Chains A and B, each alone.
Chain A
Amino acid sequence: MNGTLTVVVVEEDRDRAIAIVDALKSATECDVHIIGNSSGLARKIAAHAPDIVLIDIDNPTRDMMEELTLASGPLERPVAMFVSGAAGGLAQTAIEAGVSAYVVDGLSPERIKPVMDTAIARFTMVRQMRNELAETRRALEERKVIDRAKGLLMKAKGIDEDAAYALLRRTAMDQGRRVADVAEALVTASGLLK
C-alpha cells in the first residue's frame, strides 16, 4: 500500500480536532478528515475509506467502531484494532495516552508509527489540559463551598472570617478530613435545618 495515508479523526470538540489535524499534517504526509457527529458513525467512516481511524479512548461512541472490524462486503476493508505485536508497545502507549486507533489490515508498522507517535503526543497534551481544567474547576467549587461555610459560621457564632476558617480547619484536622469536606457537610446540614 503506497501513497498518502488517509486518517480519520473522530472528535466532537472542534478546537481539539483542529489541533490534532494540524499536528498530523505538519508531522506526516496524510489526508486527515474529522468526523464530529456520532450519528451513523460507522457509515461515515467507511465513506472515507481510511487507513487509520483515531478516536479518544473516553469517547463512548467508540463501541460503534467495533462494527468496522466485521466489515465483510466486497468494497469494505477490514479494520483491525491497533494491537501490539507487529508494532511493539505502541498500542499500550496509545492507550495510556488516551487514544485508540483502528488500522486497516496489512498496513505496515513503519507507516503507522509516525502517525501514532504524533497522535499520542497530541492526545497526551489534550488529556493533561483536560485534567488541569477539571482540577481548576474543582478547586473553584471547593472555594465557593468553603466561603459559604465560613459565612454560616460567622453568622451563627458571631465570629470573624479568620476565626471561622480556623474553626473549619481545626475541625477538619481533628476528624482527619479535608477542609472542603467539612465545609460541604456544614452547608448541607444547615440547608436541612432551615
Chain B
Amino acid sequence: MKTVTLSAAFMPLVDAAPLIMAQEMGFAESEGVALDLVAAPSWSSVRDMLAFGRVDAAHLLSPVPVAMAMGLGGVATEISAVSVLSVNGNVIGVGRELEERLRTRGFGFDFADPVAAAEALAAVRSGPITFGVPFPFSMHVELLRYWGAATALGDEGIVIRTVPPPLMASALAAGEVDAFCVGEPWGSVAVDEGAGALLLPGKAIWEFAPEKVLAVRRDWAETEPNLLGRLMRAVWRAGRWLSNPESRTTAGEILSRAQYLDVPSELIDRALSGHLTVSGRGEQRQVEGFLEFHRGAATFPWRSQAKWIAGQMARSHGLDLAAMPGDLAAAFRSDLYRRHLSGTSNDLPGASEKVEGAIRHETPVASAQGRLSLRPDRFFDGRIFDPNEAG
C-alpha cells in the first residue's frame, strides 16, 4: 500500500490524543497513512483550515459541525463528524474569589455533586456568574447552560464569555470572568497557577457527553472514501490503545512534547487517569470515566447526540428547529462509521439513535458481534432525551 499523507488540524488538548497516537504509535502507518498534524492557535482556525481545504481532517468540538449545519457562526461549509474522538473530559472551575467565598461557607469541593455545587454558588454570588469557555459552539457551553437551567443558578444566573484557555488565568485575575469551563490540561494548569479551584467534572452534568469529533468536509468524505476509511480505522485503533491503562505513561510522555501539548506529562496524566488535583491546597479527587476514548462505543457518532446538541443550541439562540431545512442529525455520520469500521473487530451497535440519559448501569445492547455494552449516560437531573420526540 502506497503511503499517503493526510493533514489534520488539532488544538493542543489531551483529547487530541487519538489523532496524535494514531500517528506516533504506528496505527496510521499500518493503514498506509502518514498524518501531518497541524497544531492550531484557535478553534476558529481549526474550523477554517478544514472548511477551506487547508487540511483534510480535524479534531473538532462536537457541536461545531451541528452549529455549521444550522447556519450559526461565520462559516457554512458542510462538515461531517465521522466518529467521536472523546467522551467527557471537561472541568468546571471557579476563580480565587469564588473559591474563597465557597470555602468560607464550608463547601467541600467534592468534585461530584452538581446540585450542591450550584446551590453553594447561588448562595455566595453577588450577581450573575460569568463563565469563560473556549468557544461559543462547544459542549462546555451546553453543559453550563443545562446545569444552570436545572439548578439554583438559573438561566439568568450564568453569563458565558469566550476566552482562549491560555488567557483564562489572566481573565480571572482581571475580573473579566469569575469561573470557567475548559478541557484538560487547562483546568489543571489553572489549579497549578493558583488561578482557582475545580468544582465539577463535565461528566457530573452529563455522564456520556460527546466532546470532540473527527471531522472532515462532507464532499471530501464522498470523493475519498478509501482514505477516510484508513484514517478512521487508524484513529479508532489509537483510541482503543489509549483506553488501556498500561498506555498511559507512554501517551503522557508523547503528548507532552513541544509539538503537541508542550506541558509536563504529569499534568496530562491527571486527565488520562481521572486523578485530578482540584485546588491549590493539593486536594485530590478520583473520577471514574473522566475521559473516554473507547469504552462503551465511545467513538460511535450517535445521531441522537447530534439531535440533543441541535435542540440545546436552537433554544439558546432562539431558533425554530422545525423550520430548519435538512436533517441536522446528519452532521453525525453513523452511516460512514458503519461503512468504514465494520471490517474491524469494532462491535457496532444495532441502532444509530438512543434515548439519551436513559442508561443507568452498564447495559448490554444489540450489536453486530453481540459483545457491546453501553456505559451510563445519565443527565444529573434524571431527565431523558428521546430523539423521536424532539422537533
Contacts and interface: CB of A to CB of B under 8 A. Distances in A.
Contact of A81 (B42, B74, B166): B74
Contact of B45 (A40, A42, A57): A57
A59 B41 CA distance: 7
Contacts of B112: none
A81 B75 contact: yes
Nearest to B165: A60
B167 A92 contact: no
B391 interface: no
A66 B52 contact: no
A63 B73 contact: no
Given A39-B176, A60-B166, A70 B53 contact: no
A112 B154 CA distance: 43
B164 A63 contact: yes
Interface residues of B, number: 31
B164 A83 contact: no
Interface string A91-113: 11001100010100000000000
Nearest to B166: A60
A63 B174 contact: no
A96 B54 CA distance: 8
A65 B167 contact: no
B49 interface: yes
Given A40-B176, A57-B45, A92-B52, A63 B162 contact: yes
B136 interface: yes
Contacts of B72: 69-70
Contacts of A171: none
Contacts of B53: 92
A40 B49 CA distance: 26
Contacts of A69: 72-74, 136
A33 B247 CA distance: 51
A64 B163 contact: yes
Contact of A83 (B54, B75, B167, B318): B75
Interface on chain A toward B: helix, strand, loop, or mixed SS? mixed
A58 interface: yes
Given A60-B164, A61-B164, A63-B162, A70 B48 contact: no
B74 A57 contact: no
B74 A102 contact: yes
A40 B164 CA distance: 12
Tier of interface size on chain A:
20 to 34
A80 interface: yes
Interface string B132-174: 0011110000000000000000000000011110110011001
Contacts of A169: none
Contact of B48 (A40, A60, A61, A95): A95
B384 interface: no
Dominant secondary structure at the B interface = loop
Contact of A39 (B44, B49, B174): B174
A64 B133 CA distance: 10
Contacts of A80: 74
B4 interface: no
Interface string A32-59: 0000001110100000000000000111
Contact of A91 (B43, B45, B52): B52
A100 B48 CA distance: 9
Nearest to A80: B74
A84 B76 CA distance: 10
Contacts of A84: 52
Contacts of B281: none
Residue of A58, A82, A83 with most partner-chain B CB within 10 A? A83
Centre residue among A42, A66, A72, A84 by max chain B CB count within 10 A? A66
A64 B135 CA distance: 7
B383 interface: no
Contact of A63 (B44, B75, B170): B44
A83 B74 contact: yes
12 contacts: A59-B42, A60-B41, A66-B44, A66-B137, A69-B73, A69-B136, A70-B73, A80-B74, A83-B74, A84-B52, A92-B52, A95-B49
Interface of A: 38-40, 42, 57-67, 69-70, 72, 79-84, 91-92, 95-96, 100, 102
Given A60-B42, A62-B41, A62-B44, 18 more contacts: A39-B170, A39-B174, A58-B45, A59-B42, A63-B42, A63-B162, A66-B135, A69-B136, A70-B72, A70-B73, A79-B74, A81-B48, A81-B73, A81-B74, A82-B74, A84-B52, A95-B54, A102-B74
Interface of B: 41-45, 48-49, 52-54, 72-76, 134-137, 161-164, 166-167, 170-171, 174, 176, 317-318
